[in-house]
Amino acid sequence: MRNDKKLILVVDDEDDIREILAETLAGLGFEYITASDGEEAIGYLDQHHDIIDVVICDLKMPKVSGDEVIAYGAKNYPLIPIIILTGFAQLDMALDHIRLGAFDYMTKPFRVKELLFLLKRALEMRQLQEDKINYQNTLEIKIEEATQALHDQVVQTVSSFILAIEAKDRYTQGHSKRVAEYSVLMAKKLGLSEDDQADLHYAAQLHDIGKIGISEQLLNKPGRLNVVEYETIKTHPSKGVKILEPLDFLGHLLPAVEFHHEWYDGNGYPRGLAKEEIPFMARIIAVCDTFDAMTSERSYRKPLPLKIAIQEIKDGSGTQFDPQVVTAFLEVFKETLEPKMISQKAP
């Protein structure tokens, strides 16, 4: 918390003037620090810029001059107003310095009334600028929150379609939701940024959205699919991209949706991409998707035992799956999924 008393940095090489200014400021209820040349002033600014409210600065000083202090302050600490202290002879220069970023000027010998007036105006201007910055920041945060809420809502609406489709078939019910849940655990394990975690959550929730474009009979068909049926099912990633394309804010997630059935060795679909050609998020979703498919009941089989499902994931490392993702998945499984799934199964 800043003290109520405002802190003024007084910069002048003449001892008398510094002392008079300091005494006057104290009498007017200000706190002050003094510097006897520009170099010292810049040092104070660097060290105490967060508590200095206003600078009063002489122009003609040895070593580092007043104009250098003004230029430095205006560049690095633009919120701190600098009042120039100048003799009549330097008035032209004073005006030039105002153009350089100084707030105003005061002639020597100064009058107390004038000093107080200038300080008040400088402090008011500073307050206005701080208020403006705070207002802009608050506004930006509010806009960001509102946009995020809107995006969440749109994703919820879109994913509710896939949830509805899954709900028609008790064997796939909740699949996308679980894949999203596993993917977020994976994102954390793999050290993805918070933004990437949120993106992966969206992408995993929506990865099968293209199934909206596939007939229900085919999606829910018990038993093996013939070649034509399988080719139709294989169109769901591209159909998903078509569905999501109009939603601009999801544009960067489309590759994760489109390529979640690619294989690490290039034997997947739709394009036969391999290794790093497959987007990282798609490689993560691929493992989570397959694991959930194996551990959920299907019309033609019971859920596979966890041990066998995990063995399948291990066996797919380097062929179907990215080995790095498999390693992370095995850790996530051991730490989080296995204990949870075992406790859910327990009577």
How far is CA 140 from its chain centroid?
A: 13
Q: What would the x/- binding string for Fe ion be over residues 71 to 110, using CB under 5 A?
A: ----------------------------------------
Q: Which of 63, 75, 189, 211 is the catalytic position?
A: 211
Tell me the backbone φ, ψ of residue 10, rounded to 5 degrees.
-100, 125
Query: What letter does residue 298 receive in the DSSP assignment?
Result: B
Nearer Cβ to Fe ion, position 58 or 166?
166
Strand residues in the chain grouped as ranges (E): 7-11, 31-35, 54-58, 82-86, 104-107
Total residues interacting with Fe ion, rule: CB under 5 A = 1
φ/ψ region of 272 (left if φ > 0, alpha if ψ in -120 to 50, else beta) reads: left
- Measuring CA to CA, which residue among 77, 15, 86, 5 is closest to residue 42? 77
Closest approach of Fe ion to the CB of residue 185, in Å? 19
Query: And the tokens for 9?
Result: 């940095």
- Asked if residue 292 binds Fe ion (CB under 5 A), the reply is no
> What is the Cα–Cα distance from 136 to 130, expressed in whole angstroms?
10
Type of residue found at 92: D
Closest approach of Fe ion to the CB of residue 149, in Å? 28
Query: And the tokens for 86?
Result: 């100048």
Q: Are 161 and 176 in contact (CB under 8 A)?
A: no
- Measuring CA to CA, which residue among 157, 162, 205 is closest to residue 181? 205
Nearer Cβ to Fe ion, position 7 or 293?
293
Nearer Cβ to Fe ion, position 166 or 208?
208
> What is the Cα–Cα distance from 245 to 50, expressed in whole angstroms?
48
**Restricting to residues 242-281, which ones interact with Fe ion according to CB under 5 A?**
none
- Mark whether 211 is an active-site residue: yes
**Restricting to residues 150-209, which ones interact with Fe ion according to CB under 5 A?**
208
CA distances from 206 to 64, 199, 320 (A): 62, 11, 21
For residue 270, is the peptide bond before it cis, meaning its omega torsion is within 30 degrees of 0?
yes
- Select the residue whose beta carbon is closest to Fe ion and give its number: 208
Nearer Cβ to Fe ion, position 81 or 210?
210
Query: And the tokens for 213?
Result: 């474009």
> What is the Cα–Cα distance from 240 to 255, expressed in whole angstroms?
10
Query: And the tokens for 26?
Result: 């104290």
Closest approach of Fe ion to the CB of residue 222, in Å? 18
Closest approach of Fe ion to the CB of residue 205, in Å? 12
Instruction: Please give the positions annotated as active site.
Output: 211
Binding residues for Fe ion (CB under 5 A): 208
